[in-house]
Structure 1
């Protein structure tokens, strides 16, 4: 059973010319790590937040967002509260913005499950102590305020808080962006260990392709509110079938890369105030032809690899070119 199953998700906002999410399909299985990658503004965070129905005011939705088999978009308020304190949880990008600076960390960890009567105060404190130990933090932080601990420790507290309700789905929205490299590695390793221990499905939102390749079982590449490529991590990065994925990989700094200027993707992502016809990446794509400007590409599987899918009119051509270069 999938812990997250998004089908045909389309979200429109008042005053915006085109959907901010346009037909997104995405799944996360039990115990699986799925990475969602793309440039800033591509819709990654909104996709992950939809699993908790944390949507902008006035958002109109189509499609389904099922968490543990239940459609989040049709839930009543009480069901949504139960979802957010038990079935699914999110680790936000900036822990200092997600924790009330005027409340002690112990209150932050326990108040959700206590207020919903999922646990009494004693059991909640015991659970918080257990999880803090699991993430490598001494329980002395329970009596401290957020300003009294480091950023790396506070992110560990956020991970412990996300696990308080034994969620089947964990949503990590670039949880390592604000951390130094060493602490980033520690947090990523910690998430992997906790996922194995608790069997939680993990959707990891990131713009770091190397990180996505390292930690994920499968990867979804997003551009302009659409999933443009998806598949097993190794195959997708070794043989990209969408020019956007290939361009992202080419622009990633590497120690063994030739000297000279780093490759870049010319142009800018499409403005939300303009409608889209055809492929949204066409104005920036070196393979674009007339059909790319006129027709929205269908998502097709690679020959012999049905799990590797791309929405590109020229995905086969890209794959042939890569094979010839090899």
Structure 2
């Protein structure tokens, strides 16, 4: 059973002419790291939040979002709260915005376990101390306040808090964006070690393709609320088949690149206030034809494209 299995997810918001998420299929296996990449506004964060039932006001959904076999979109509030405190957890972008600055670190770590009633105060404290040690921090931090810790230390606390309920699924929403380069590398390495140690499935949301290549087993590329391409990380970055994926890679800075201006993708993503006909990327794609503008492509060999780029990939 997959840690996360999303099938045919559509999500529409009030005031939009088309779905914000339009037929998303995505899976994360046990102990697997899957990266979800794309431009800002492509729907990455919204997709990850549906796994916890964190939907915007007025959202209308269809499809299935299974976390450890349970459909988040149809479960009741009680079971959803239990899922959030146990089987699934999220690491947010900015740890300082996610932790109450007036409460001690120990109280923050143990709150969800104590409210769920699954452990005594002593057991919750013991578990918190063990996880602080697992993320490279000492148990003495239990009595400190968030303002006494650096950003990197707070993100480690966030990871420890996410692991308190032994989740089968960990959702990381750009967890290194607010950190310096050294702290970013430490957090990425830590997530990899913890995934191996605890066997937790990890969905890593990022706009950083280099980071996605370094941390993930598989990658999904999202554009305008749709999956444009997916496949094993090494194959997808070595042989991109969708023009959008290739364009993103061309726009990514590289140390060995020829000096000069970075490549850019002309145009803008489709406006949510307008209906979308055909391929979402057609207006920005150099390979687009009338077929692309009239008919939305299905995913074949990992790419949703009528005119995929040549490559050696054979994934489905």
Instruction: Please report the TM-score for the alignment, with normalisation by the length of structure 2.
Output: 0.97
Residue matched to 2:55:
55
Alpha-carbon distance between aligned partners in 1 of 2:255 and 2:109, rounded to the nearest angstrom: 41
1:38-77 aligned at under 5 Å gives the runs 38-77=38-77
Instruction: Please report the TM-score for the alignment, with normalisation by the length of structure 1.
Output: 0.94
Q: Deviations over 1:15-48 (max 9, x none)?
A: 1111110000000000000000000000000100
1:116-135 aligned at under 5 Å gives the runs 116-135=116-135
Cα deviation, residue 244, structure 1: 0.3
Cα deviation, residue 299, structure 1: 1.0
Residue matched to 1:174:
174
Residue matched to 1:188:
188
Residue matched to 1:305:
none
Cα deviation, residue 298, structure 1: 1.1
- Give SS of 1:319's match: coil
Residue matched to 1:297:
297
RMSD across aligned positions (CA): 1.1
Instruction: Tell me which of 306, 310, 315 is aligned to 2:303.
Output: 310
1:267-286 aligned at under 5 Å gives the runs 267-286=267-286
1:85-234 aligned at under 5 Å gives the runs 85-234=85-234
Q: Deviations over 1:216-271 (max 9, x none)?
A: 11000000000000000011111101000000000111111112111011111111
Q: Deviations over 1:153-190 (max 9, x none)?
A: 00000000000000000000010011111110000000
1:231-270 aligned at under 5 Å gives the runs 231-270=231-270
For structure 2, the residue ranges without an aligned partner over 5 or more in a row are none
- Give SS of 1:74's match: coil
Alpha-carbon distance between aligned partners in 1 of 2:123 and 2:208, rounded to the nearest angstrom: 38
Alpha-carbon distance between aligned partners in 1 of 2:269 and 2:216, rounded to the nearest angstrom: 26
Alpha-carbon distance between aligned partners in 2 of 1:293 and 1:87, rounded to the nearest angstrom: 42
Alpha-carbon distance between aligned partners in 2 of 1:57 and 1:102, rounded to the nearest angstrom: 29
- Give SS of 1:170's match: strand
Cα deviation, residue 139, structure 1: 1.6
**Moved >4 Å (runs of 4+):** none
Cα deviation, residue 292, structure 1: 1.0
Alpha-carbon distance between aligned partners in 2 of 1:86 and 1:8, rounded to the nearest angstrom: 25
- Give SS of 1:229's match: strand
- Give SS of 1:231's match: strand
